[in-house]
Amino acid sequence: MRKLHGTIRKWFLFAAAMLLALTGCGRKIEKEPITLSVWHVYGQYTDSPLNTLIEEFNETVGWKEGIKIQVTAVSNTSNIHDDVLRAAQGEPGAATLPDLFISYPKTVMAMPDPEILVNYRDYFSDEELSDFVPEFLEEGYVEDRLVVFPIAKSTEIMFVDKTLFDRFAAAAGVRLEDLTTWQGLFDVSRDYYEWTDAQTPDVENDGKAFFVHDYWFNYFQVGVESLGENFFNGEDFVFGNAFEKAYDQLANAAITGGIWMKEGFATEPLRTGDAVVSVGSSASVLYYEDRVTYEDNRSEAIEMIAMPVPHFDGGEKMVMLRGAGFCTVKSTPEREKAAMIFLKWLTDAENNVRFVTETGYMPVTKKAFELLPDAMEKLENPKYRSLYKAYVETQEQYHFHTAPKLVTYLEKESSFETSIRALFKDALKQRQEGEDPEKLKAEVYDNLKDKAMR
């Protein structure tokens, strides 16, 4: 009997050895990566700095941890807002939500179920979060859940094509200092239109715009608040004295023709030499090229500088705080953990400073802010050096304004923007046809108010 058991044991050992040999289980099987899809806004069509950093992450930490970040779209927050909502609502033909996407809290608030997003408090300890600038974190809370994770913050900055400005300044005697107040900027805008119009006396009304703003909605919002009044009353606008003052100063220049009111981003007319000064996100520094291309295909190297945004005489120096954050869509614990590893890597002080100084943003952690001055010293591109100098001045002298978290915010912003541009474009045309500027000013105001109230 014992002999028989011995035989069986030998058979089993032989079979096990055969299995091991034939299936080759001694060889190591390498793990394939967890691939996370990303929609972001850093660089859009350009050679995106975030994409470069993502490549670095994939090559280093990602390779080690088995995580691959795959960028599937680089766009802007407005487009991502639309596509996230389409995807979240399961609209036919809409894309699937990516694992990570950049968004403002207002997008999250408009989602049918914000619960599909990860609450970062589940993955970050209090100690880890304590290193972030509290205001930046605070902005990412929606219904007491931290769903928008800050990786970079921006503010509005004024960009000046100094080459064109100097040419005009030499002829008209204007100075950069004139651009520190809105009134000064609008006055220069009117002068510039008249000066450019006068370059070709045989062609009437061919003057050029001097100034373009990315979001006139922000101009009014921050302007009204800086003049001590509320811009919003609940979900409605307040058309008070402050609004009228901001409107009055803008309208004088816009109806003359000194302000660019066509659709598109503020960077566009500066790249074609159709405007000289813009106010937009500091991050738009990526989209300003060091050349201007004119309509006859001549191109010219330019010097682009950055300055803090103008303020109103008698008003507080105030500027809009911008910069969306990353939202993570809930999936499996492994995928969510992988997303957190990436976000922790990206907000690590050194990486964060590298990232923001390449994209024109402010870092989000206290440690990264400590490293920022050194990083600024090392910047080689004068456009970026100028930008960070303007950043420092803004931080020292300005109060940051954060947009309210209103469900209808984006709708209001978009509708206001479209209306004001269309009304001023039409008014300019009428003024060029001989209509009274004061009458046009009043009409535009009434129409704007009427549309906004609707």
Partner 1 sequence: MRTFRDLYNKIMGSRCQNVSLRRRMIRYLLGMLLLAVGVLILILAGCGLILNAEDRMAEALQSQLESVSAKLEDEVEDLEGYALNLARQLSRSMEYQMEHGDFSAAEFNDSAEKLLELQRAFYGDLNATLLMSGSSGAFAVTDATVNTGLEESSHSRSGLYLRANNIGRSVRIVPDPVLFRGSAEIAREKGLELHSRWNLEFDVNLLPEWGKMMGQDGNVAGEILWTEKMRLRDTWEDVLLLCTPIKGSMGNAYGICGLELSELFFREKYPAQESDFGTMITLIATLEDEELHVERGMLGDAEGTWLEGMETLSRKAGKKFQTFTSGRGDFLGVMKDINLPVADGKRWVAAILVPQNSGISYIRKSRWMLMAAAVFFSALMLIMVAHASKRFVRPILQVLDDIKGKRQGDEATGRPIAELEELKSFLTSRRENQKLEQLPENIEEMLREFKRRVETLTPTERTLLNYYTEDLSLEEIAEKMFISIGTAKKHNTNLNRKLDISSRSQLMVYVELFKRCDRLDDIKKQTTT
**Closest C-alpha to 421, from 236, 213, 206:** 213
- For partner 1, give the closer residue by CB, 4 or 453: 4
Binding segment (CB under 8 A) for partner 1, from list 29-37, 123-131, 226-234, 363-371 = 29-37
Orientation angle between helical segments 333-346 and 349-359, nearest 10 degrees: 70
Q: Is 51 in the site for partner 1 (CB under 8 A)?
A: yes
The yes or no reply on residue 68 touching partner 1 (CB under 8 A) is yes
Residue count at the site for partner 1 (CB under 8 A)? 62
Tell me: does residue 433 bind partner 1 (CB under 8 A). Answer: no
Query: CB of 390: closest distance to partner 1 in angstroms?
Result: 21
What Å distances lie between residue 237 and 27, 226, 412, CA to CA? 69, 15, 9
Burial class, 367, CB count within 10 angstroms (exposed 0-12 / middle 13-18 / buried 19+): middle
Q: Is the dihedral of CA 215, 217, 220, 224 positive or negative?
A: negative
Rounded to the nearest whole angstrom, what is the least distance from the CB of residue 348 to partner 1 in the complex?
Answer: 23
Give residue 195's Cα distance to chain centre: 34
In contact, 337 and 124? CB cutoff 8 Å: no
Identity of the residue, 80 or 224, whose beta carbon is nearer to partner 1 in the bound complex: 80
Tokens coding 332: 């499996």
Return the residue of 6, 13, 63, 166 that touches partner 1, per CB under 8 A.
Answer: 63
Residue 241 tokens, joined: 């004295």
- Binding test (CB under 8 A) with partner 1, winner from 126, 204, 295, 380: 295
Q: Which residue among 2, 30, 332, 433 contacts partner 1 (CB under 8 A)?
A: 30
Cα–Cα distances in angstroms (integers) from residue 264 to residues 212, 322, 323, 421, 429, in the given order: 10, 19, 19, 10, 19
Which residues between 273 and 292 bind partner 1 (CB under 8 A)?
A: 274, 286-287
Work out the angle at residue 283's Cα, subtended by the Cα atoms of residues 305 and 384, and round it to the nearest 5 degrees: 40
**Contact status: 429 vs partner 1 (CB under 8 A):** no
Q: Does 262 participate in binding partner 1 (rule CB under 8 A)?
A: yes
The site for partner 1 (CB under 8 A) is made up of 4, 8, 11-12, 15-16, 18-19, 21-25, 27, 29-33, 35, 37, 39, 43-48, 51, 55, 58, 63, 68, 70, 72-75, 79-80, 82-83, 86, 93-95, 262-265, 267-268, 271-272, 274, 286-287, 293, 295-298
